[in-house]
């Protein structure tokens, strides 16, 4: 059985193939968390999100908004039921958000989409059993980049009438937080060069951002370690709150695959995220949990 688990994991690690994703998402497809699909948070057809609800039925559950990766050009929420179910099974109302992508839009449109999604969740998640005072955000790769800017650059949520303080904490898996575009499409997405500082999360760190957890695999050849190092150094220099986790045997896809049913009990990524979110729960929520 163990050999089967690792074979299934290898399929996903080979590049998130359709077969690998099908296996990763199998438990979510056949039962478990209740899912509200294709909830609109804005006017565009990609302004949609899926909401995974815990079985507990409580009305004060913590909330996680997760932004998928895909190089700001690809991917959609339908690929990530395994993320929604993983956290819903741990009691989180979990929201997987879609957003517009290049070439339809360029930076910062997709970050504004992210802010609109988070604001919608803050205003409406009580209807789905979530507590808006227990709101966390996370993402993988380009999704981590979007979520990190929502945590670091207050202008995005302010444009939605929300303070950054509505976010309790942010967890990023393999996020490109401080890079210079060097490929044609990335230059078109984020350019001209004088605009690059605005898309670098490090630019916006003042020290009062929500606590951040930065996770990275040492076999990642797509997003370099400097992104984790530069952002964490900037946060510490500003007396902010940051934690880092480095995993020696994981690559760019492997760190995300660690959230799948066949791998999350064998790797610390999922538990590291859960522990981090628990550390940053509101005092009132912790007191209720202890009763």
Q: How do residues 49-93 score in pLDDT, each as one tens digit?
A: 999 999 876 789 999 999 999 999 999 999 999 999 999 999 999
Query: What's the residue count for the chain?
Result: 291
Does any domain span residue 23? no
12 occurs within a structural domain: no
Q: Are 39 and 110 a contacting pair, CB within 8 Å?
A: no
Q: In the predicted model, what is the mean pLDDT of residues 144-160?
A: 98
Write phi, then psi, for 281 (nearest 5 degrees).
-70, 150
* pLDDT attached to residue 102: 98
Q: At 174, is the pLDDT very low, low, confident or very high (cuts 50, 70, 90)?
A: very high
In a domain, residue 24? The reply is no
Cis peptide before 108 (omega within 30 of 0): yes
Question: For residue 119, is pLDDT > 80?
Answer: yes
Q: How confident is the model at residue 289 (pLDDT cuts 50, 70, 90)?
A: low
pTM: 0.90
The residue whose two tokens read 């930065």 is: 214
Q: Please give the Cα distance from 167 to 76 (Å, whole number).
A: 23
Q: Is 38 within a domain?
A: yes
pLDDT beyond 50 at 14:
no
Domain around 153: 33-280
276-287 residue pLDDT tens: 999 999 876 654
Q: How many domains does the chain have?
A: 1
Does a structural domain hold residue 1? no
Q: Residue 28 domain-assigned?
A: no
In a domain, 156, yes or no: yes
For residues 110 and 116, give the distance between their C-alpha atoms in angstroms, rounded to a whole number. Answer: 10
**Distance linking the first and last C-alpha atoms of the chain:** 40
With 0-12 CB in 10 A as exposed, 13-18 as middle and 19+ as buried, what is 123? middle
Give domain status of residue 129, yes or no.
Answer: yes
Radius of gyration, CA atoms only, the chain: 18
| Of 107, 144, 108, residue with least CA distance to 220 | 144
CATH at residue 60:
3.40.50.1820
Q: Give the pLDDT score at 71.
A: 94
Answer yes or no: is pLDDT of 16 > 90.
no
């Amino acid at each position: 059985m163990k050999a089967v688990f690792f074979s299934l994991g290898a399929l996903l690690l080979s590049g998130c193939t359709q077969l690998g994703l099908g296996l990763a998402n199998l438990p979510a497809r056949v039962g478990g968390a209740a899912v509200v699909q294709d909830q609109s948070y804005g006017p565009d057809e990609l302004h949609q999100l899926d909401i995974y609800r815990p079985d507990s039925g409580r009305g004060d559950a913590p909330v996680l908004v997760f932004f998928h990766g895909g190089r700001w050009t690809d991917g959609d929420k339908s690929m990530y039921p395994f993320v929604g179910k993983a956290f819903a099974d741990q009691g989180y109302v979990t929201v997987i958000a879609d957003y517009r992508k290049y070439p339809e839009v360029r930076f910062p449109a997709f970050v504004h989409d992210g802010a609109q999604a988070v604001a919608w969740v803050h205003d409406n998640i009580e209807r789905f059993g979530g507590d808006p005072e227990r709101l966390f955000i996370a993402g993988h790769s380009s999704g981590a980049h979007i979520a990190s800017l929502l945590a670091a650059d207050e202008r995005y949520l302010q444009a939605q009438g929300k303070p950054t303080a509505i976010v309790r904490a942010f967890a990023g898996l393999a996020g490109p937080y401080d890079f210079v575009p060097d490929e044609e499409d990335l230059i078109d997405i984020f350019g001209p060069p004088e605009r690059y500082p605005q898309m670098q999360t490090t630019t916006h760190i003042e020290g009062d951002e929500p606590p951040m957890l930065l996770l990275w695999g040492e076999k990642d050849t797509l997003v370099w370690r400097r992104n984790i190092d530069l952002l964490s150094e900037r946060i510490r220099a500003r007396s902010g709150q940051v934690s880092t986790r480095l995993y020696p045997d994981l690559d760019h896809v492997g760190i995300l695959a660690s959230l799948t049913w066949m791998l999350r009990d064998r790797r610390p990524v999922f538990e590291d995220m859960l522990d981090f979110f628990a550390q940053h729960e509101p005092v009132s929520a912790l007191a209720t949990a202890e009763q």
